[in-house]
Chains A and B, each alone.
Chain A
Amino acid sequence: DTGVSQDPRHKITKRGQNVTFRCDPISEHNRLYWYRQTLGQGPEFLTYFQNEAQLEKSRLLSDRFSAERPKGSFSTLEIQRTEQGDSAMYLCASSLGSTETQYFGPGTRLLVL
């Protein structure tokens, strides 16, 4: 299967700890997106990359959040000093070009205790 993959699938952490998630897009997809989804809501955009360049960030992405895509392939999303409000499903998507469909991965479910 060559779909979008995310790791880990589940993460439980204590408030104040740092966590890092990884996303591997569909090969050859040059655009990569991060979204956050809470229970009963649709996904909310966080940030997106074209190749290795981070071109857009949402106001939702506070200073505690940082994302990278160092070689234009996989991406990481780090949350520093986690808070209970960070508990959510973090979704990664990729697309080929700006007009193509975004395909989503299975998500990483984060629970902050």
Chain B
Amino acid sequence: EDQVTQSPEALRLQEGESSSLNCSYTVSGLRGLFWYRQDPGKGPEFLFTLYSAGEEKEKERLKATLTKKESFLHITAPKPEDSATYLCAVRAGGGNKLTFGTGTQLKVEL
């Protein structure tokens, strides 16, 4: 069974204080690793898809990287508007479903 573990569960940063969120996974035949952002009471918002080890994607202050066992979401000089829950998900094997982790709740303070 596919497993996704995210750490830390919660992270509090000062504005401008860079950090990384971790997503480790155990799957049989990775077909994509996805990062989403979720604001309270809303649906997940797509950020990145990574397909193979060594791949990197960037968007504004966010950069996602992938190895054979884990993915990192690096946040550079975060702002309060980056506060949200960040979800990691995998698609594996022959299925089409996404298996999600429990998320990292990020709060960025002034």
Contact = CB atoms under 8 A, between A and B. Distances in A.
Contacts of B98: 33, 35, 43, 45, 102
B43 A104 contact: yes
Interface stretch (A66-74, A79-87, A105-113): A105-113
A47 B35 CA distance: 21
Contacts of B87: 42-43
A109 B97 contact: no
Contacts, number: 55
A48 B44 CA distance: 17
Interface stretch (B12-20, B61-69, B72-80, B100-108): B100-108
A48 B96 contact: yes
A56 interface: yes
Given A99-B32, A102-B98, A91 B43 contact: yes
Contacts of B89: 42-43
Contact of A91 (B31, B44, B49, B101): B44
Interface in B44-88: 44-46, 49, 87
B101 A107 contact: no
Contacts of A45: 97-99
**Which 10 residue pairs across A and B have the least CB separation, nearest first?**
A42-B100, A45-B97, A104-B43, A104-B44, A107-B43, A106-B43, A43-B100, A42-B102, A105-B43, A101-B46
22 contacts: A33-B98, A41-B102, A42-B100, A42-B101, A42-B103, A43-B100, A45-B97, A48-B96, A56-B96, A58-B97, A91-B43, A98-B96, A101-B46, A101-B49, A102-B46, A104-B36, A104-B44, A104-B46, A106-B42, A106-B43, A107-B42, A107-B43
Interface of B: 4, 31-32, 34, 36, 41-46, 49, 87, 89, 95-103
